A and B are shown apart, each in its own frame.
Chain A
Amino acid sequence: MKVSIQGIGLLATGLAGWEVGRAVLAGHGSFQPGEMPDPEAALLPPNERRRSSDCVRWAVQVAQEAIAQSGLDPREVPTVFASSGGEMGVLDTLCRTLATSERVISPTLFHQSVHNTPSGYWGIATTCQQSSTALSCYDDSFAAGLLEAVTFVHVEQRPLLLVAYDLAVPAPLNEARPISAGFAVALLLAPPSDAALATMQLHLRETDQGPASHLQDLALEQVRLGNPAARSLPLLKALATGGSEKVIVSLLESQQLVLDIDSCRH
């Protein structure tokens, strides 16, 4: 299955936006994690932005970055949102309230607790009515999302926006799922085309054929291991570096995605 990559969005500490992230990942600047970004997600109408969760703002921020690069109309682009745990901050608030004797929960908070909350807000912000899927595969949620996204583009022969995100998990829920820093990435995938940042061939293989890709830079490797959405970093590094590269991403214990990246030189 071959697709083209026509837009990239990125958000994490020290990797705020694809321009900054590309330079760091290509080795043109050092990785300097600092304050957590507080994305503007300007596409959200002010009312929606005010009551939106962190997940929504992070996901919308990278989605709008990727779609802007592609020049496509967001109303024409189906979406896939991949996240291990989704709205963990909302779930923490809900479970705290449900542990009180009154159990009076906010209706807004309840409808924001679903795994497809960023998908819903993206639809409201763009008035897109295309298919949107939200999914999870625990630590391999990015790989599962990429598989769903590439398969969709291949079968339907039309562009699709993939967004993968997981945010820092608040206490005490972080005792169960220790994710200490947020990470969000978006890829605008389309059928093969000359007007693209890169082409990517994907195939599945059994795990026993070799290890998954990792990063040489120890600090970045810690980021990769610390957040399911950051399992995208070896792919992003290959895209930042340019040229041709093979990237291996684990999908559960039994399979791997083999990604042959070929960057287009302009």
Chain B
Amino acid sequence: MSANVQPITPLTLTAYTLVTANGRGVGPVLQALRGRRSGLKPCDFEDVTLKTYIGRVEGLEDFSLGNELERFDCRNNRLAWLGLQQDGFMVAVAEAKQRYGAHRVAVVMGTSTSGILETEHAYQARNQAGSLPDWYTSRYRYTHNMFSLGHFVRVCLGLRGPAMVVSTACSSSAKVFATADRLLRAGLCDAAIVGGVDSLCLTTLYGFSALQLLSTGPCRPCDEDRDGLSLGEAAGFALLESSERVGRRGAVALLGYGESTDGYHMSHPHPEGAGAIRAIRDALARAGLRPEDIEYVNLHGTATRANDSVEDKAVYSIFGARPACSSTKGWTGHTLGAAGITEAVISAFCLTEGLIPGTLNCARVDPSLKSRILRENQIGSLSCVASNIFGFGGNNCSLILGKL
């Protein structure tokens, strides 16, 4: 399975940033984790009447992008813009651009629904002949098209290197790390901006409702009475450079990644977690690590019955009951195509802060789960984290982050 997977040179996360329902920037999100304050609230998105909780980012309805960026204006790109402004990220990118040149910095973004909310609004605003409004058709390329986010980030940052948007449902912004590593190793760029943005929309709210996968309350990952997921929205970005160039001791780096598919079903995970196991094993092989080197597993942990149970099987079969395991979806909600970067950034600052977050909203751990599910926060030194992300289409990705 992993026979031909070779260890990689770690990639330093020179800078990173995150906006979720818990706040703007790494600081507020870390405070929410420490204070165990969820960002989930009863659904108040537009005129949606579903009985569910959501992780909505405050203030996206009330601002617009500046004149030069007007054509990109949509909820998804507003959230992207907000993300780029936090944690000194723009300055770090400007420095990398200075070091390498604009054409030597790649942009690899992940999203699942891009700016689809614009299309939903446009369909509601069709005229009597059934035509879509001009404000929409002239801007589709910059708002809803799947590449819009990549285009927007590239323009905001003034970059001219290779760019693409990966869209593999929930695994999108985990897989961007793998694509960036390949571009860097092949010498096609010297640095890469990776990240992802997904924003609330009717398609996912009513879609997950149709699949009967939405919890009526705040999601309860790994709880014996869990009844589904809560949707959230997020923007996260990281600047990746080879650790051989910028590695300083103690810096957080991507040590390995594994990608796989289930080859089983569009929306149900493989019953034995076969694809998940393959992704985790390949991530360990690329990191050159053994299972016992991993101290914390940030679970995909969506709080659906099926996901948490199958993920537990996969994690236990590789790690046994040794590492602490938890899901952070109780804080952020499931941010879908942004879940990969959200949980990679959370893993990064957990490494620097020596924090292992206990699963929020998990009152009693499902007794059928065999992994060591943590319920309370734990403080102590931490050097190696695995983060799992699984998505529709049976698309899996596992990342390993650690300190150099």
Q: A residues near B, CB below 8 A?
A: 1, 75, 78, 83-86, 91, 94-96, 98-99, 103-107, 110-117, 119-121, 123-124, 126-138, 141, 144, 147-148, 151-152, 154-158, 171-173, 175-177, 204, 206, 251-252, 254-255
Contacts of A251 in B (CB 8 A): 162
Is B265 in contact with chain A by the CB < 8 A criterion? yes
Contact of A115 among B122, B154, B168 (CB under 8 A): B168
Residues B392 and A114 in contact, CB atoms below 8 Å apart: yes
Q: B residues near A, CB below 8 A?
A: 4, 103, 112, 116, 119-120, 122-124, 126, 130-132, 136-137, 140-141, 144-147, 150-151, 154, 160-169, 175, 178-179, 182-183, 185-186, 188, 202-203, 206-208, 210-211, 259-267, 274-275, 278, 391-395
Contacts of A114 in B (CB 8 A): 112, 167-169, 391-393
Contact of B267 among A1, A111, A151, A155 (CB under 8 A): A111
Residues A94 and B203 in contact, CB atoms below 8 Å apart: yes
Contacts of B119 in A (CB 8 A): 91, 95, 173, 176
B204: nearest chain-A partner, CB-CB: A110
Dominant secondary structure at the A interface = mixed
Residues B261 and A148 in contact, CB atoms below 8 Å apart: no
What is the CB-to-nearest-CB distance from A199 to chain B, in angstroms, rounded to a whole number? 17
Most chain A beta carbons < 10 A, residue from B112, B163, B263: B263
Total A-B residue contacts, Cβ distance less than 8 Å? 214
Residues B186 and A136 in contact, CB atoms below 8 Å apart: no
Contacts of A115 in B (CB 8 A): 112, 146, 167-169
Residues B123 and A96 in contact, CB atoms below 8 Å apart: yes
Some 10 contacts from A to B, beta carbons below 8 A apart, are A1-B186, A110-B210, A114-B169, A115-B169, A123-B264, A127-B263, A136-B147, A137-B165, A138-B146, A254-B103
Knowing A107-B210, A138-B145, A151-B183 are in contact, say whether A119-B265 is a contact too (CB < 8 A). no
Residues B120 and A116 in contact, CB atoms below 8 Å apart: no
Residues A148 and B203 in contact, CB atoms below 8 Å apart: no
With A123-B393, A135-B164 already in contact, 14 other A-B pairs whose C-beta atoms are closer than 8 Å: A85-B145, A95-B203, A110-B207, A114-B391, A115-B167, A126-B263, A130-B261, A133-B168, A136-B164, A141-B147, A151-B182, A155-B186, A177-B140, A255-B161
What is the CB-to-nearest-CB distance from A219 to chain B, in angstroms, rounded to a whole number? 26
What is the CB-to-nearest-CB distance from A116 to chain B, in angstroms, rounded to a whole number? 4
What is the CB-to-nearest-CB distance from B154 to chain A, in angstroms, rounded to a whole number? 8
Contacts of B206 in A (CB 8 A): 98, 103-105, 110
B119: nearest chain-A partner, CB-CB: A95
Contact of A120 among B179, B203, B393 (CB under 8 A): B393
Contact of B141 among A1, A135, A138, A147 (CB under 8 A): A138
A131 to B122, CA, bound (A): 35
A254 to B106, CA, bound (A): 12
Contact of A129 among B130, B147, B262 (CB under 8 A): B262
What is the CB-to-nearest-CB distance from B240 to chain A, in angstroms, rounded to a whole number? 15
What is the CB-to-nearest-CB distance from A28 to chain B, in angstroms, rounded to a whole number? 35
Residues B210 and A104 in contact, CB atoms below 8 Å apart: yes
Residues B168 and A172 in contact, CB atoms below 8 Å apart: no
Knowing A91-B119, A119-B261, A129-B262 are in contact, say whether A147-B131 is a contact too (CB < 8 A). no
Knowing A91-B119, A115-B146 are in contact, say whether A138-B151 is a contact too (CB < 8 A). yes
Residues A204 and B210 in contact, CB atoms below 8 Å apart: no
Contacts of B278 in A (CB 8 A): 129
Contacts of B261 in A (CB 8 A): 119-120, 123, 128-132
Most chain A beta carbons < 10 A, residue from B4, B141, B145, B275: B145
A75 to B262, CA, bound (A): 11
Contacts of B210 in A (CB 8 A): 104-107, 110
Contact of B167 among A91, A135, A252 (CB under 8 A): A135
A127: nearest chain-B partner, CB-CB: B263
A102: nearest chain-B partner, CB-CB: B206
